[in-house]
Amino acid sequence: MMIQTRELSYTYPGGRVIRFPDLACQAGETLLITGPSGAGKTTLLHMLAGLIPPANGSVEIAGTNIGRLNTRNMDAFRGRHIGIVFQRSHFIGSLSVGDNLMMPLRLTGATANKFQLLEVAQSLGIDHLLHQLPARLSQGEQQRASIARAVLPAPNVILADEPTASLDDRNCEAVARLLSEQAARHKAALLIVTHDNRLTSLFPQHIQLT
């Protein structure tokens, strides 16, 4: 298993406790996690990414229990092994799209390969936009750029938080297809957290949060 959780639970500052079902995902596979607003989808994603610690339980990614890592090592581990795609794509506004895509590689000290960048950008159809500033891109283009950024360091796990919520039907399907394609190509486990029903028909593996 590329990613696996056991008896995860989280306590909100108010004292409310949410227990999450155990989940697991193989390399190259896609797991859809759905649920209504307030079901703890984003909380789960943040725990999977090691951004917040769980109250109980463990998250194991590529054989590493990430609960055992300190802040510094967690940051580095995240950069190397976890790619994240957000609902609204965020970029460093002052850097070009190309530089933004290379950021995770450069930040973790990996050798940044221009050919790799071009190849991924080509497969997502954004190779002509690499010199632009992110603000110049359309929503769909921005989402494709953040997919490129997530897959470029060849992570073990890709976490997508509502990747299609702000897209129209045509772009929604294209982005969902590209995401799973790229995940499969890079042999990464893909977890999509969403309340978007358009996606349930596209992905067979499906966990519902209540």
Partner 1 sequence: MIFRIAIRNLLHKPLYTVLCWLLLACSTTVLLVLWALNRQARQQLEKQIDGVDLVLGAKGSPLQLILSSVYHLDNPTGNISLAEAAPFMDNPMVESAVPISLGDSYHGFRIIGTTQAYLDKYQLKPAIGKVFGNSMEVVAGAEAARKAGLKLGSTFAGTHGLGKTGHVHEDQQYTVTGILPSTGLAIDQLLLTPLESVWDIHATHEAPHIHEEGEDHDHEAEEKPAVPDRQVTAVLLKFRSPMGQLTFPRMINENTNMQAAVPAIEINRLQALLGTGAKVLRALGWLLAGLAACSIFVTLVQGTHERRYELALIRTMGGSRGKLLSLVFAEAFLLGVLGVITGIVLSRVTLLLLQQELFAGYHLNFSGAMPLTAADGITAAAIVGACMLAALLPAVRAFRLNIAKTLANA
If binding means CB under 8 A, how many residues of this protein chain bind partner 1? 30
What kind and span of H or E run contains 32? strand 30-34
Query: Would you say 76 or 202 has its CB closer to partner 1?
Result: 76
The answer to whether 104 contacts partner 1 (rule: CB under 8 A) is yes
DSSP labels for 85-119? Answer: E-SS----TTS-HHHHHHHHHHHTTPPPPHHHHHH
Helices (H), the chain: 41-48, 71-81, 97-107, 114-123, 139-151, 169-185
Backbone angles phi, psi at 87, to 5 degrees: -60, -55
Of residues 5 and 203, the one with the C-beta less far from partner 1: 5
Contact (CB, 8 A) for 78 and 156: no
Q: Is 106 in the site for partner 1 (CB under 8 A)?
A: yes
Q: Does 90 engage in binding with partner 1 (CB under 8 A)?
A: yes
Tell me which stretch binds partner 1 (CB under 8 A): 20-28, 87-95, 117-125, 186-194: 87-95
**Integer Cα distance of 181 and 46 in angstroms:** 23
131 binds partner 1 (CB under 8 A): no
State yes or no: residue 64 binds partner 1 (CB under 8 A): no
Site for partner 1 contains 181 (CB under 8 A): no
Q: How far is the CB of 201 from partner 1 (least distance, A)?
A: 27
Please report whether residue 149 would count as binding partner 1 according to CB under 8 A: yes
